[in-house]
Amino acid sequence: MFDSNNQTLQVTVSQKRCAAEDTAVFELVPAEGESLPTFTAGSHIDVHLGDGMIRQYSLSNDPSERHRYVIGVLREADGRGGSRTMHDQVHAGDTMTISTPRNAFELNESARKTLLFAGGIGITPILSMARRLAALGAEFEMHYCARSKERMAFRDEITASGFEDRVWLHFDDGPEDQKLDISGALSDRIDDTHLYVCGPNGFMDAVLSTAKAEWPDEAVHREYFASDLDLHTDGDEAFQVKIASSGETVDVGANQTIAEALLGHGIGVTMSCEQGVCGTCVTRVLEGTPDHRDMVLSETEHAANTEMTVCCSRSKSPLLVLDL
Ligand code: FES
């Protein structure tokens, strides 16, 4: 059942399987009817896990499919609990509430060439992109790094995908000559090549810092994991936000987010990750200078200061005017 008011729907877990050490793959099908809302490569869904716990998972399957969503979940023993709940308490046959797909990691389908880099469970959106690019007949290369063969999810699917000749698999515990040479892979760039990277922070930083010197910011696309973020809040100060449509001014306390302050005045902002990685709460800024704390907007977008994530970013100026 699809609820168009709050954009949630009911799905049934049709399959749960072990895809690699500590990684489970869940196949979600409509609880009623035969088709799910369409999605584009790079999209994620919110999965409602009860007690207000909501987690984001990227869709890994082919965006042309309407009968299922496929997500991969890495069990994080030290995480915030979402992955443990998914692994331990969600089983085939269960009904779940999820959001409709949203995309903060969009694929430019008209690029002349695309380079895809995945680290660990970061493969999920990247695999969906590879499937889409292969279906389009587009030129692309994919590099997928894992600690070992046993920990590489979707390996069998990839090696039988039909696009396996464009995929390089790299294992931390394998011989030196198969390890990812980031500089070498990034040097193979023609005009209008776009780069997509998703994985743990260390992997992202290695790829992005190598790309920084040569690649234009608008050609580099990234998606971080929410659980990897460590937001620093020491020394935060109070400021004000003004609602452009009503003229109302709202105080944001030093220990409060903008979204929390707005909610206290009855102004709801749609949010998902609440950690600056999904892009759901991005809001236009009409005046003032945001203090960007997110990892979803690009450096160019941060520098422009025309939009911000109100779930975690703050203000450098005493007042921000928001297009709300
Ligand atoms: S809610 Fe995800 S970036 Fe703000």
> Tell me, what's the pLDDT at 108?
97
Q: Is the pLDDT of residue 5 over 70?
A: no
295 lines ligand 1 (CB under 6 A): no
**Which atom from ligand 1 is nearest to the alpha carbon of 279?**
3
Sign of CA dihedral 178, 194, 161, 88: positive
Q: State how far the Cα of 287 lies from the Cα of 317, in Å rounded to an integer.
A: 9
Q: State how far the Cα of 199 lies from the Cα of 58, in Å rounded to an integer.
A: 12
As a 3-state breakdown, the chain gives helix, strand, coil percent values, each rounded to 5, of 25, 30, 45
Residue-wise pLDDT for 64-74, tens only, equals: 999 999 999 99
- Residue pair 16/86 in contact by the 8 Å Cβ criterion: no
**Which of 43, 272, 301, 307 most suits a substitution to test ligand 1, by most atoms within 8 Å of the C-beta?**
272
Closest alpha carbon to 193 in 151, 165, 221: 221
Q: State how far the Cα of 208 lies from the Cα of 214, in Å rounded to an integer.
A: 10
Report the C-alpha dihedral over residues 104, 109, 114, 118, rounded to 10 degrees: 30
69-to-113, 152, 163, 226, 237 alpha-carbon distances in Å: 27, 20, 21, 20, 42
d(CA 202, ligand 1 centre) in Å? 22
> CB-side exposure of 141: number of CA atoms within 13 Å?
16
Closest alpha carbon to 182 in 147, 211, 218: 211
Strand partners, 12: 29, 95
97 lines ligand 1 (CB under 6 A): no
**Which atom from ligand 1 is nearest to the alpha carbon of 312?**
4
**Which atom from ligand 1 is nearest to the alpha carbon of 56?**
2
> Tell me, what's the pLDDT at 34?
87
Closest alpha carbon to 279 in 56, 118, 110, 128: 56
**Which of 273, 297, 298 most suits a substitution to test ligand 1, by most atoms within 8 Å of the C-beta?**
273
Strand partners, 230: none
Tell me the CA end-to-end span of the chain in Å, nearest whole number: 30
99 lines ligand 1 (CB under 6 A): no
Instruction: Give Rg (Cα) of the chain.
Output: 20
Angle at 61 between CA 60 and CA 62, to 5 degrees: 130
313 lines ligand 1 (CB under 6 A): no
Q: What is the largest CA-CA distance in the chain?
A: 63
158 lines ligand 1 (CB under 6 A): no
d(CA 135, ligand 1 centre) in Å? 31
Q: Read off the pLDDT band of 4 (50, 70, 90).
A: very low
Please report which helix (H) or strand (E) contains residue 102, including its range. none
Q: Which two tokens stand for residue 143?
A: 């590099």
Average pLDDT, the chain: 92
Residue-wise pLDDT for 163-209, tens only, equals: 999 999 999 999 999 999 999 999 878 889 999 999 998 999 999 99
**Which of 275, 293, 297, 298 most suits a substitution to test ligand 1, by most atoms within 8 Å of the C-beta?**
275
> Tell me, what's the pLDDT at 33?
87
Q: Which two tokens stand for residue 217?
A: 């910011």
- Residue pair 26/90 in contact by the 8 Å Cβ criterion: yes
Q: State how far the Cα of 201 lies from the Cα of 228, in Å rounded to an integer.
A: 7
For the ranges 50-64, 111-125, 286-300, the maximum mean pLDDT occurs at 111-125
- Residue 93: other Cβ atoms inside 10 A: 9
Q: Whose CA is nearest to atom 3 of ligand 1?
A: 276
Domains of the chain (ranges; CATH) run 2-99 (2.40.30.10), 113-228 (3.40.50.80), 239-322 (3.10.20.30)
Residue-wise pLDDT for 209-237, tens only, equals: 999 888 998 999 999 876 555 556 678 89
